[in-house]
Structure 1
Amino acid sequence: MPSIDAAAQTVFADLNQRCADAEFDRDFPENGKFIKRTIKAREYWYYQGYDAATGTKSNRYVGTVADSETTRRVEAHDRQRVDYRTRIDAVRMLRSAGFPTADALTGRVVERLAQAGFFRLRGVLVGTVAFQTYPGLVGERPMRALRTGDIDLAQDYGISVAIGESMPPVHEELQAVDASFRPVPNLSRPDRTSAFANANGFRVEFLVSNRGSDDLTGALIPMPALGGVSAQPLRYLDFLIRDPVRSTLLHAGGISVTVPAPERYAVHKLIVANERTEREKQAKDLTQASFLIAALARNQPVALAASWVEAWSRGPSWRRHLETGVARLDETGRIAITQAVCTHGEMLGYEPTQVGFPASPA
């Protein structure tokens, strides 16, 4: 797979920072102030704003004080605005360098939801659209772009309940992009929806972790922070969206998004590929996993090994899925994950034989 040269990686890193800063500036105008609140022994930033036109005050969730990037932006709130034209030029340069870009509809939908506060409220972009943002994070790009006809978005239920704020109605936000978006009916709960589709079948779906019985899969869960939307509970999603990272979706001047850490995405794909009933989707999962595993094994092997070990430690069913997933990888992927886990066992405090691999790479 093609490596990304140092110049392009620098451009992406700079764009990633600029887009995140620009989103922060947009969400929190300079006429407000930031305060700390302690909730259940954890400190959080909140923004107290004032709308001069209406005379109303607002309190908006910002993030955790422990998040160094959030705290840095709070402390540097009075800096100059980011130059949008510079960001457009950076996106154009990265597209020319072979970075994956979002199609027009995907870009507009993600941008609209970002502006509505989805990522500020700790939502996470998952699925193939998230995968498109990884080359700049892992230092390599896939041989071919993988396209999709849907957008998958996730949020932790506990966060959605505790955050004390909600996006505007999601249906209205989607219709502002394409008026043909309609809720997808749910047979068991007609009064709830977790997905919307437009006239061409393009789908936007909201997901949440299923940490209870498998019987809950399919039973939609109301999400207080998501603008009237419920979410589809899925097994293994809690592993995927834990400790997400910031990346940039290449559309217009770049869209700052929160995505799963690439090492978690790779390991998660090994697991969920085994539950696919459609061969095409299973093949896509394994292709994405193999790409990320090979790139991470070269550039971030400790993170990859640590994610594997964490997943392995979650129990017998996880181990069965991981073993089957590795067996289904292409040879490059199998060798890469084996070498990463076996080589870094001593550093991470385990023997390879304890986590499903031989004592040394084959």
Structure 2
Amino acid sequence: MREIDLAYRTLYAELCQRSLDGAFEADFPIAGRFVTVPVNGRAYWYFDLPGPDGVKRRYVGPKHDAQITDRVERFQAIKGDLKARRKLVSTLVREAGLPAPERFSGDVVRALSEAGLFRLRGVLVGTVAFQCYPGILGARLPNAALQTGDADFAQFHSVSAAVDDSLPPMLDVLRSVDTTFRDLPHQADGRRSTKFRNAKGYEVEFLTPNRGSADHDGKPAGMPALGGAAAHPLRFLDFLIHEPVRAVLLYGGGVNVVVPAPERFAVHKLIVASRRRDDPLGRLKRDKDALQAAVLGQALAMTRRASDLATAYAEAWGRGPAWRQALREGLASVPTKARTGLVAGIVDGLTEIGEDPEGLGFDASGKPRP
């Protein structure tokens, strides 16, 4: 693993900004106007577009998001530059060696991005999101950690209910990519679908955090903003998608996405690794979880962001006994050599932020306690 040259990191940052500009221009025609709306004590941007049936209002994003507010303020000046962005993507993939998704995943994510999923505060999770981290961190990551065969997305239910906007019908969006997509009735409630599959077995799944009682476990949640799709509730997911970051998927002219913060992704992978089933498929997924956690942890340490990793780890540790046990088991699942680097990054980061590693699951020598 090594860092990417500064020139390419700068190009990636430029592409992120320009792809967001391009998405903004496509989403909001010049004929409309932006307005701020107070919701629960916070200000949010909305876009009003006059039409034959009256004014249609669409959610844009929180006013405290500096990137969104900047684009609102210079909306008239934003121009499309798809051709130039394609050249940037090509340079970053071919010369810098940054990963690009396989074409079908790229098409799926682009379709959902253009439909407004990330504008409505959806988050790309899973391995497709992981493919964005080399650009975010400025580090080349092992190819084995980047392979996937599906696409997963998440959204807080409270956000889905509050934005007062929705994607087009989800099946229509996915069938614009592949007409063989069909919705799969959820096992717990056949009236709802959280997962969609095409004829070749490629799956798109929607998830939401389960922070309530065990009564909600396994039951699909209705999501008003997801175009008729429901979402499968998962424990620990709220930790993963809290305060996500903007990124660009290196596909086409760059696909504007939102992904979990890399330090949260790493810690969350430790947690979910501990909860995989002990069968061949479960062990395979656990190994992949452990690999991604270790790779990201080492990359964060190498790029001088060990304090971010440690802060996320300490937050998870402080959430209670079940979280602490999951972290212990997750660390134990990482192969010895990789675990050494990951643990060193966490311990160094804890020291950097003024936390005592011995109070957070490590012994005096810096090794994880069983």
Q: Per the shorter chain, which TM-score range? A: over 0.9
Query: How far 1:270 sits from its partner (Å)?
Result: 0.3
How far apart are the structure 2 equivalents of 1:195 and 1:130? 18
- Report the Cα offset of residue 347 of structure 1: 4.8
Measure how far apart 1:215 and its partner are.
4.0
Residue 187 (structure 1) shift: 2.8
Deviates more, 1:222-231 or 1:344-353: 344-353
CA-CA distance at 1:351 after TM superposition: 1.4
**Which of 56, 59, 77 is the aligned partner of 1:58?**
56
Which residue of structure 1 lines up, in the alignment, with residue 11 of structure 2?
Answer: 11
Q: C-alpha separation between the residues in 2 aligned to 1:78 and 1:236? A: 41
The one-letter code sitting in structure 2 at the alignment partner of 1:186 is: H
Q: How does 1:24-35 map to 2 (within 5 A)?
A: 24-35=24-35
Give the secondary-structure state (helix, strand or coil) at the position aligned to 1:211: coil
Deviations 1:278-327 (A, max 9, x none): 11111111111111000001211111110000100000010011111112
Report the 3-state secondary structure (helix = DSSP H, G, I; strand = E; otherwise coil) of the residue aligned with 1:190.
coil
**CA shift at 1:56, angstroms?**
4.0
Number of corresponding residues: 360
1:294 paired with 2:293, answer: no
Alignment partners' CA distance in 2, 1:281 and 1:147: 12
Q: 1:73 aligns with which of 71, 77, 83?
A: 71
Letter of the 2:301 partner, please give it: A
- Any residues of structure 2 matched to 1:283-322 within 5 Å, and which? 283-299=287-303, 300-322=305-327
Alignment check: 8 A CA contact 1:342 1:358 kept: no
Give the stretch that moved more between structures: 296-305 or 251-260.
296-305
* CA 1:276–1:34: 2 relative to 1, 3 Å: same
Q: What's the CA shift for 1:331?
A: 3.8
RMSD: 1.6
Q: Which amino acid aligns with 2:29?
A: P
State, as a whole percentage, how many aligned pairs show the same letter: 45
Looking at structure 2, the residues matched to 117 and 101 of structure 1 have their Cα atoms a distance apart, in angstroms, of 22
Kept in 2, the 8 Å contact 1:294–1:332? The answer is no
Partners of 1:344 and 1:175 in 2: CA distance: 45
The answer as to 2:188 corresponding to 1:184 is no
Residue deviations 1:162-204 (CA, integer Å, cap 9, x gap) = 1111111001111111110001122331111101000000000
Q: Deviations over 1:202-253 (max 9, x none)?
A: 0000000011233422210100010011100001000000000011111111
Q: Secondary structure at the match of 2:77?
A: coil
Query: C-alpha distance in 1, partners of 2:50/2:89?
Result: 34
Give the counterpart letter for 2:83 in structure 1: R
Q: Which residue is equivalent to 2:199?
A: 199
SS at match of 1:194: strand
Looking at structure 1, the residues matched to 39 and 139 of structure 2 have their Cα atoms a distance apart, in angstroms, of 40
Cα separation, 2, equivalents of 1:333 and 1:74: 45
Cα deviation code 1:54-108 (max 9, x no counterpart): 4642111111111111111111112141311111111111111221111111111
1:51-130 matches, within 5 Å, as 51=51, 54=52, 56-96=54-94, 97-130=96-129
Q: Which residue of 1 aligns with 2:38?
A: 38
Counterpart of 1:262 in structure 2 is 262
Aligned to 2:331: 326
In structure 2, the CA distance between the partners of 1:49 and 1:281, relative to structure 1 (3 Å rule), is: same
Helix, strand or coil at the partner of 1:30: coil
| Match runs of 1:118-267 below 5 Å | 118-145=117-144, 146-267=146-267
1:336 equivalenced with 2:335 (yes/no) = no
**Letter aligned with residue 229 of structure 2:** V
Aligned to 2:358: 353
8 Å contact from structure 1 (residues 32, 47) kept in 2: yes
Q: CA deviation at 1:334?
A: 2.7
- Which residue matches 2:48? 48
Instruction: Report the Cα distance in structure 1 between the residues aligned to 2:293 and 2:350, rounded to whole angstroms.
Output: 21
Report if aligned partners of 1:2, 1:143 keep a CA contact under 8 Å in 2.
no
Q: CA deviation at 1:341?
A: 3.4
Report the equivalent of 1:280: 284
SS at 1:306 equivalent: helix
Question: Contact between 1:263 and 1:296, CA under 8 Å: does it hold in 2?
Answer: yes
CA separation in 2, counterparts of 1:342 and 1:254?
A: 36
Please, which moves more after superposition, 249-258 or 6-15? 6-15
In 2, distance between residues paired with 1:170 and 1:128? 21
Q: Distance in 2 between matches of 1:125 and 1:345?
A: 28
Displaced runs of 4 or more, over 6 A:
none
Q: Cα distance, 1:26 vs. partner?
A: 1.3
Separation in 2, partners of 1:58, 1:118: 18
CA distance in 1, matches of 2:342, 2:291: 14
What SS class does the counterpart of residue 93 from structure 1 fall into? helix
Q: What is the CA distance between 1:350 and its match in structure 2? A: 2.3
Displacement, 1:346? 5.2
Could you tell which deviates more after superposition, 258-267 or 94-103? 94-103
For residues 27-58 of structure 1, what are the alpha-carbon distances to aligned partners after superposition, in whole Å with 9 as ceiling and x for unaligned?
1122211111111111111111134xx46421
Contact (CA 8 Å) 2:218, 2:232: kept in 1 or not? yes
Task: Name the CA shift for 1:333/1:66 in 2 (closer, same or farther; >3 Å).
Answer: farther
Paired with 2:310 and 2:365, the residues of 1 have a C-alpha distance of 14
Kept in 1, the 8 Å contact 2:287–2:334? The answer is: no
What SS class does the counterpart of residue 167 from structure 2 fall into?
coil
Give 1:147 shift.
2.0
